[in-house]
Structure 1
Amino acid sequence: MIDLDVKLRQAEFAALVGISQPAVSGLVARGIILSGMTGRQMLLAYCGHLRETAAGRASESEFDLVAERARLAKEQADRIALQNEVTRRELAPVHLIEQVLSQAGARVSGILEAIPGMLKRRLPTLSATDVELITREVAKARNIAAAVTLDDLGIEAPDEEEPA
């Protein structure tokens, strides 16, 4: 019978818990078991390590379950935050925004195109040259509005990287 209240050699502890002596050496190297511990302390530290590993709070492999769970939790929180923004109508799909802006642009374009004719009817003293000048200026404004991009508005386009 092994006395757990005395210091055990690595080989003795390995035989007690059913692992190899190099595995115990690895536990010592990682600080899970400290040299100078009694057999009881080694057993408690080893069992605590096994519990942490089984619970996913500690990892021995390249696949770090703790980090992966944290990453998954962050992604889920981000998804829920986006859903909340959509629910509160703070966020809308790009295609919907494009559709709304296109309809608004068409309505504004119709109003702008009517300005020269309306001015000619209300102000009969305007010459044809004056009406042509107004028509050109309205066309410029309409073309500028039609060519607006997200860059012009100071908004980053989705799925595009900033230029270096």
Structure 2
Amino acid sequence: LFADDTQPLPMNWQASGRNPTVFIDHAARRTTLIDPRLPAPTVDRKRGRSAPPARRQNLDKNGNLLDLASRTAEIALLVEERLPELAPKIRKKLRLIERLGAVALARLANDVDLITAISILDSDDPAGSSEFEEKLNHFYASLHRSGYGKGPQKVK
């Protein structure tokens, strides 16, 4: 292979001399007789027939492995309890994810019903929300004892 003399030298490179031409790399502070415009050798990897290609793992933004296909039964149960009107549609989509895996998940990535079902799975359990409600009720009671409350005549 030969270098294309019509192309400019890469940034921070300089050619000096005629015979032989010396190429100076100002960034790395080195000289060479090899033209930097030579095409880079490409590594042609041939895969053997013994091993299949590695499957792409579905990772979330934190790098954790997503395994939604194994949790479809759990999602279906939660949807039955909390969203009975959407349950048949969501069960159908969950079965599709079980069968086709990542392909179906990619196709249904923007499906509102499925996103709602998954968010139910990820949401806090009701026990945590009742603790919050207790704290909120205690706060309102302390406000009421202090003389603050609802209505125009209750404001201090």
Q: TM-score, normalised by structure 2?
A: 0.29
Higher strand share: 2
Tell which structure's C-alpha radius of gyration is larger: 1
Higher helix share: 1
